[in-house]
Chains A and B, each alone.
Chain A
Amino acid sequence: MTSQSNALNMEGAASETIAAFPHPSAHQNPSSDYSIGTAEPADYFALMKPRVMSLVVFTAWVGLIAAPVSVPLWTMGAIILSIAVGAGASGALNMWYDADIDAQMSRTKKRPIPRGTVRPETALTFGVIMSAFAVLALSMASNYLAAGLLAFTIFFYAVIYSMLLKRSTPHNIVIGGAAGAFPPMIGWAAATGEITIDSIVLFMIIFLWTPPHFWALALYKAGDYEKVGIPMMPNVKGPASTRFQIFAYALVLAAICVVPVMTGLGGWIYGIIAGLLNLGFLALSFRVWKSRAGEQADNSDEASLYAVKAGDLAARNLFAYSIIYLFAIFGALAAESLLKGIIA
């Protein structure tokens, strides 16, 4: 719990949080120390953050497809499965560590640990075992570089982001975003056995996409983060600074999206789609910058990611668009690579 002592004004809040958070078993019955629990396999699947996992699976698959080395179908499936399990394992470790704050945030309070269906220590064990399985499986299916990158990604998300950054700096998701950016690089490394400029570009696209994506959400969910003392950018630097930074990141993201055309990773199909997508991203980011998103106090207890007050509409629109944007831009790269394969 080192991060709690390092957090900005977090010590008091953290101890109150822990005191207020009953052990999950307390929700079950008085003799629950002996209970064998009522957790279903679906609860363990929920620990693996399936929505995040779907993005990881897709971007890792694009890394594999876009790489200049073809991979047999079974091996491709094995690699994707290993990366998916690794991503899920890191999600379980994150849920174990963040159980105290998850219990208080409207967006996360229905997760298995706050709900009392899975004990924190069980989630930790599950996360560690699945991490080991995932890294071992990837090393067998591909190579040690890819397996090492997966192990580092799990470590980065669980330790660097969850334990060290999340509760201590408003730049938490800027640096922590690297964890979400590694999957296409892992996919690429699994296919080729190396890290190249192209795989770094794939990494950079997700890395630069992450801050505007999360800050758009944080602008209209600021109250939720503030309640548990997470120093998100809108809470620390204010909504105006956050809105400007969103637009600045959108500009840099648009610039990095040109690089695949220059390196040959993306052709004209990617160029056109990426151009249009970035125009949309820039336009929505500009509207966020010029809006008053995040100015109203967020006192809602709304669990939905998309429910929003009128003033925050621009931020909600950017958040929703950013998800489509990432799928589409990676989808364009995959489509182009597949077409190249068919034509060749």
Chain B
Amino acid sequence: MTENIPETYEPTAAELKARNRRNIAIALLLASFMAFVFITMITRAAGAAG
């Protein structure tokens, strides 16, 4: 069984390109979520103070 499993897998150009786009999307989403949490907290704190 094990001899059929390749030791390394070389991603194709299309796979690498897709992975790159996914990574960028994840980075943007996480940055957006951080901004979301920050602004929401500030807005709620300002609302509670005002």
Category for how many chain A residues contact B: 10 to 19
**Cβ of A40 and Cβ of B39 under 8 Å apart?**
no
Q: Specify the chain B residue showing the minimal Cβ separation from A71.
A: B47
CA distance A74 to B18 in the complex (A): 33
A35 and B18 contact, CB distance less than 8 A: no
Chain A residues contacting B21 (CB-CB under 8 Å) are 40-41
Contact present for A78 and B11 (CB under 8 Å): no
B25, A74: Cβ atoms closer than 8 Å: no
The contact of A37 among B18, B24, B39, B44, by CB within 8 Å, is B18
Question: What's the minimum C-beta distance from B18 to chain A, rounded to whole angstroms?
Answer: 5
Q: Are B9 and A35 in contact (CB under 8 A)?
A: yes
B19, B36, B44: the one within 8 Å of A36 (CB): B19
Give a binary string over B3-42; 1 marks a CB under 8 Å from any A CB, 0 the rest: 0001001010011101101101100000001001101110
Q: Across the two chains, which residue of chain A brings its CB closest to B23?
A: A41
**Are A35 and B11 within 8 A (Cβ)?**
yes
Interface size class of chain B, counting residues whose CB lies under 8 Å from the partner chain: 20 to 34
Query: Is B18 touching A39 in the complex (CB atoms < 8 A)?
Result: yes
Residue from the list A38, A72, A133 in contact with B14, Cβ < 8 A: A38
Chain A residues positioned under 8 Å from B47 (CB to CB): 72, 75
**A140 and B43 contacting across the interface, CB-CB below 8 Å:** no
A140 touching B18 by the CB < 8 A rule? no
Docked pose: A333 CA to B9 CA in angstroms: 57
Residues of the B chain whose Cβ atoms lie less than 8 Å from the Cβ of A75: 40, 43-44, 47
Nearest Cβ on chain A to B43's Cβ, whole angstroms: 5
B binding-site residues for A, Cβ under 8 Å: 6, 9, 11, 14-16, 18-19, 21-22, 24-25, 33, 36-37, 39-41, 43-44, 47
**Known pairs A36-B19, A37-B19, A38-B14 / 11 extra A-B pairs, C-beta < 8 Å:** A36-B18, A38-B15, A38-B18, A39-B22, A40-B18, A40-B22, A41-B24, A74-B39, A74-B40, A74-B43, A137-B33
Residues of A within 8 A of B (CB): 31, 34-41, 44, 72, 74-75, 78, 81, 133, 137, 140-141
Q: What are some 14 contacts across the A-B interface (CB < 8 A)?
A: A34-B9, A35-B15, A36-B19, A38-B18, A40-B21, A41-B22, A74-B39, A75-B43, A75-B47, A78-B39, A133-B33, A137-B33, A137-B40, A140-B40
